[in-house]
Amino acid sequence: MTDKVQEIEEIIGKYRTAGKILSQVKEEAKDKIKIGARILDVANFVEQRSIELGGQPAFPCNLSRNDEAAHATPSAGDESVFGKDMIKMDLGVHVDGYIADAALTIDLSGNPDIVKASEDALYAAVDIIKSGIDTKEIGAIIEDTITGYGLKPISNLTGHGLAQYYAHAPPSIPNRHIDHGVILSEGDIIAIEPFATDGAGKVSDGSWAEIYHVIGNRPVRLPAARKLLKQMEQYKTLPFAKRWLEPEKLDFALIQLEKAGIVTSYPVLKEVEGGLVSQAEHTVIVTDDGCEILTK
């Protein structure tokens, strides 16, 4: 093997390991999502179990309910519990920065068709992915599958590529018909993530955020802000939860870093008409004649 081939094999090995860890955590965690269970307990379990199994959380465990499509995670000391909700559990595990990203919907609300629509759309997409496919064909099959249920895809959320320490790398993978896509090649690592809703099919920023990431690096003068930035360095460009940070002077320091353009938040994304939202996601490696699901 040449050095280059060996390097690629090593990288793919890390993606596969991240995917295996994620799959195990996902299986163990989904049984914990029940009416009356504390949301924070599930998020903590997912993140701690990922570490126990030899990975790192690539982002905070997202537990978004009902019309929340994504980016909801509990705050420190959050006492909220699951009710008769439609819950999206979106989790990420990385090994040396190589990320596996997957999500599933647990429905405690009595709307199984909405869940089935995004799952079917995901597997319909997986079935057609291979080297040489245009991402617009993926978007088309996702939209057609979901509209077949009388529902809508969330048109302004997409799947994405993955790269070392980048949870959202190009290309974007559409969840709807588009005019111009890009061609996928063997070895591309992508996350496919259709969302289905009985609402309008669009999300906008909600009023709260618990997830942040570092977007710039410039000197800060305030000691509290400097201390906080130091804590964030370990996450590099990956998203982290506010509850992962030390509570001392946290709100004050975080505002300073946001104002300075060093840190930004991911607000909770909500369906604009308040529709119920389901999500299904896998990370795959594109191969010559298909794809390999890393997060089965």
User: Catalytic residue positions?
Assistant: 90, 101, 160, 168, 193, 281
Q: Are 46 and 91 in contact (CB under 8 A)?
A: yes
- Angstrom distances, CA of residue 279 to CA of 10, 218, 228: 31, 37, 33
Residue 173 makes contact with Mn ion by CB under 5 A:
no
| Percent helix, strand and coil across the chain, each to the nearest 5 | 35, 30, 40
- Rounded to a whole number of angstroms, the minimum distance from the CB of residue 120 to Mn ion is 18
Query: How many other CB atoms sit within 10 Å of the CB of residue 134?
Result: 14
Decide if residue 90 touches Mn ion (CB under 5 A). yes
| Least distance between Mn ion and beta carbon 6 (Å) | 29
CA distances from 73 to 62, 107, 287 (A): 5, 18, 34
Supply 174's token pair. Answer: 């559409």
CA–CA distance from 194 to each of 116, 125, 130, 144, 235 (Å)? 11, 9, 18, 11, 27
Which 232-291 residues touch Mn ion, going by CB under 5 A?
281
Q: Which is nearer to Mn ion, 169 or 245 (CB)?
A: 169
The stretch among 29-37, 41-49, 90-98, 181-189 that binds Mn ion (CB under 5 A) is 90-98
Least Å distance between CB 283 and Mn ion?
8
Total chain residues near Mn ion (CB under 5 A): 6
Identity of the residue, 193 or 198, whose beta carbon is nearer to Mn ion in the bound complex: 193
Q: Which is nearer to Mn ion, 68 or 229 (CB)?
A: 68
Nearer to Mn ion, 256 or 279 (CB): 279
Residues 187-206 contacting Mn ion, CB under 5 A: 191, 193
Which residue's CB is nearer to Mn ion, number 122 or number 263?
Answer: 122
Does 154 help bind Mn ion (rule: CB under 5 A)?
no
In whole angstroms, the minimum distance from the beta carbon of 133 to Mn ion comes to: 19
Site for Mn ion in 103-122 (CB under 5 A): 103
Whole-number minimum distance, CB 160 to Mn ion, in Å? 6
Name which of 117, 268, 275 is nearest 200 in CA terms: 275
Q: Which residues contact 271 (CB under 8 A, 6 or more apart)?
A: 67, 68, 69, 154, 197, 199, 200, 202, 203, 277
Cα–Cα distance measured from residue 162 to residue 260, given in angstroms and rounded to the nearest whole number: 28
What is the strand order of the sheet 203-205 is part of? 68-70, 269-271, 203-205
Q: Which residue has the tokens 């591309």?
A: 188
Among 67, 68, 85, 101, indicate the residue that binds Mn ion (CB under 5 A): 101
Binding site for Mn ion (CB under 5 A): 90, 101, 103, 191, 193, 281
